[in-house]
Amino acid sequence: MGIVIRRYETSDLVACRGLWSELTQRHREIYGDPAIGGDDPGSFFDAYLGNAQRRGPWVAEVLGKVVGLGGLIIHGEEAEVEPMVVSSQHRSQGVGRVLLNHIVQEARGAGVRFLSVRPVARNVEAVSFFVEAGFDIVGHIDLFQDLSRSTAREWRPGIRIHGKDLRW
């Protein structure tokens, strides 16, 4: 499969908004919460494009079709891979690996010392993908409370950190 990684172009907007929406839909499914991302999740890609700290984004193409999207948010010598999404039809075919390798090289070239990723806790496939790609150091942990009076989400037990039982 010929995977081409290139810089995002304005003509990629519709495809990239679609990838962002697909990632949002995945989050809705794994959390059982149809409200994630609101009515127009693709609009969050537009907000991402307005972020002055972003580098990229880059797209992955297969046979001339945009099937992946990745970028960097740089904060001095630290950066985060954001976004990182491959269309469901092209997962487990090496597209994500090639795209992520490109992003890592871009981070190195920008002088980044620490590169992080923040997959959602229930995205087991994404967590596995990133650990296999070398992201095996825990730097930050986001802890939060669900303050909604009623929620579509059901929190699962099963994560233990520093002797504390947590839900995800």
Domain assignments of the chain as residue spans, ordered by start: 3-140
Eight-state DSSP code of residue 130: H
| Size of the chain in residues | 168
Residue range 43-93, pLDDT digits in tens: 999 999 999 999 999 999 999 999 999 999 999 999 999 999 999 999 999
Torsion sign, CA atoms 4, 8, 14, 19: positive
Segment 120-146 shows an average pLDDT of 93
Topology of domain 3-140, per CATH? Aminopeptidase (3.40.630)
152 vs 148: CA distance, rounded Å: 10
The whole-model pTM stands at 0.90
83 vs 95: CA distance, rounded Å: 14
